[in-house]
């Protein structure tokens, strides 16, 4: 699993970035972010996630990606939307 930084809560203190053993934490002009593909939650380096320990506002949380919608469920949702709008030509699903 990986971690993420809540941009609305982050105060841009930069305490987390130098502690990341995977260099998964970076920043742009406005906020810090964690690369979910690079983050290992410090596994293999430390007993706990170092960025979480030093964050003064507790804005670093587990990253939970949205699960994909299964095909049967997607078809059912589409039917509900078509019925509610009664304009199937204007509804698009990929």
Q: Which top CATH class is 2-63?
A: alpha beta
Run of H or E residues at 36: none
Check whether 1 has a pLDDT greater than 90: no
- Tens digit of pLDDT for each residue in 37-89? 999 999 999 999 999 999 999 999 998 877 666 777 777 887 887 777 665 55
- Is this prediction's pTM over 0.85? no
Q: What single-letter DSSP state applies at residue 26?
A: E
Run of H or E residues at 84: helix 71-85
Quick count: other Cβ atoms within 10 Å of Cβ 20?
A: 21
Predicted pLDDT at 69: 67
Q: Where are the domains of the chain?
A: 2-63
Predicted pLDDT at 70: 73
Check whether 94 has a pLDDT greater than 70: no
């Amino acid at each position: 699993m990986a971690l993420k930084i809540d941009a609305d809560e982050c105060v841009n203190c930069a305490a987390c970035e130098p502690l990341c053993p995977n260099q998964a934490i970076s920043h742009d002009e406005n906020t810090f972010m964690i690369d979910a593909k690079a983050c290992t939650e410090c596994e293999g380096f430390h007993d706990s996630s170092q960025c979480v320990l030093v964050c003064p506002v507790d804005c670093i949380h587990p990253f939970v990606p949205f699960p994909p919608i299964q095909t049967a469920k997607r078809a059912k949702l589409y039917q509900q939307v078509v019925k509610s709008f009664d304009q199937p030509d204007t509804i698009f699903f990929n």
